[in-house]
Structure 1
């Protein structure tokens, strides 16, 4: 594949659902997809409940940092997935 597709997961705080979705896709895509996540109003840290849920499956998102969504992020992505939590 010449172009590695890029997927962007978006939610308000980028601390739970979007971080979990990004981690799951990155895990299952095995490097075939570039995965990012961002939020319109990023939180201070990843939600501990989200980290604990993924830890049950052997995935560690404790080092992830919520990121502010930028227009460039959306334009660079091939697919943007909103998590349905009021993101803007």
Structure 2
């Protein structure tokens, strides 16, 4: 099992979970707040994916949750989307 060179914790072996951990790390580094347990605002998801927020709104490839006129995307869904794109 691989371990993190910085903290020594075991790294996930599942590619989706590894990508999710990369996204969480990016969120910490960029001051993006995790909400609803493990979700980020749609604008932060668009920034991470390198898309415009409008593109993300118009495409239905990522499930989202709307709360009080704000839209959130689960980190696991973003990671799964990225892994599916890589495997194609």
TM-score by length of 1: 0.23
**Which is strand-richer, 1 or 2?**
1
Give the structure with higher Rg (CA): 2
Of structures 1 and 2, the one with the larger relative CO (CA 8 A, separation 6+) is 1
